[in-house]
Amino acid sequence: MTTPLHISESKSNDLVTLAHCMAGDFSNHKQSCENPKNYAHIHVYFRPLPFDFFSGIGFYSEQVYDYDLWNPYRQGVHRLVDREDHIYIENYSLKNAFLYAGAARELDILKTITIDCIERRYHCAMIFRRDGDLFRGSVEPGNLCLIERNGCQTYLVSDVEVTQSSWISLDRGMDINTHEQVWGSTFGPLRFEKRESFAHEVPTIL
């Protein structure tokens, strides 16, 4: 059970508030139980990185099936940047991602991730804006976040809603020529509930 987090009216606090909302272990267990045919049980982890990593707020993330926690199917590193009217989240890939599997749950592994381990994924940043008591995010415009899947070049379309207790996301890969969906959910967004908060690990920004 997470402690209610009241979003401040001050725009200057949006970055820290969003970081507190993101920091946690999210699970779609309820959705998976209600509709196991269309939704596997998945965890999404956002584990705060120490301040010195980016000289600011950053995260290591994992997405993993509940039955195979040591084999994440997606890993990344993220840097939060205040752009005044929105929060810009840079995305980075890990050069040898398998070395850091489980880092979201094991802090000893998390400590082995350094700035030299990552590479920027240009054109793949997420842009978040506050909308009342939640944040809405989407991939930066341009359709230039390219992902090859099954020999087909696609661009990522990602839409996210996050609150202090939930993470709702829909990722789709669209053919760069036909703009038809190639991969991703056709049954609607994944709906995650926060099982554990890591907000206390978010660095304090003065």
Nearest-angstrom CA–CA distance, 171 and 183: 9
Domain ranges of the chain: 11-196
φ/ψ bin of 186: left (φ > 0), alpha (ψ from -120 to 50), beta (otherwise): alpha
What was the pLDDT predicted at 8? Answer: 39
CA atoms within 13 A on the CB side of 101: 12
pLDDT in tens, the chain (206 residues): 333 344 334 445 899 999 999 999 999 999 999 999 999 999 999 999 999 999 999 999 999 999 999 999 999 999 999 998 999 999 999 999 999 999 999 999 999 999 999 999 999 999 999 999 999 999 999 999 999 998 899 999 999 999 999 999 999 999 999 999 999 988 999 999 999 999 999 998 75
Nearest-angstrom CA–CA distance, 61 and 39: 20
By C-alpha distance, which of 186, 187, 128 is closest to 161? 128
158 neighbors 126 (Cβ within 8 angstroms)? yes
78 neighbors 58 (Cβ within 8 angstroms)? yes
What was the pLDDT predicted at 4? Answer: 39
What was the pLDDT predicted at 206? Answer: 58
Q: Is the CATH number of domain 11-196 2.40.128.590? A: yes
What was the pLDDT predicted at 117? Answer: 96
By C-alpha distance, which of 29, 18, 28 is closest to 162? 18
C-alpha separations of 104 from 34, 126, 143, 197 in Å: 27, 20, 29, 12
Coil, strand or helix: which one is 42? strand
Q: What is the pTM of this model?
A: 0.90
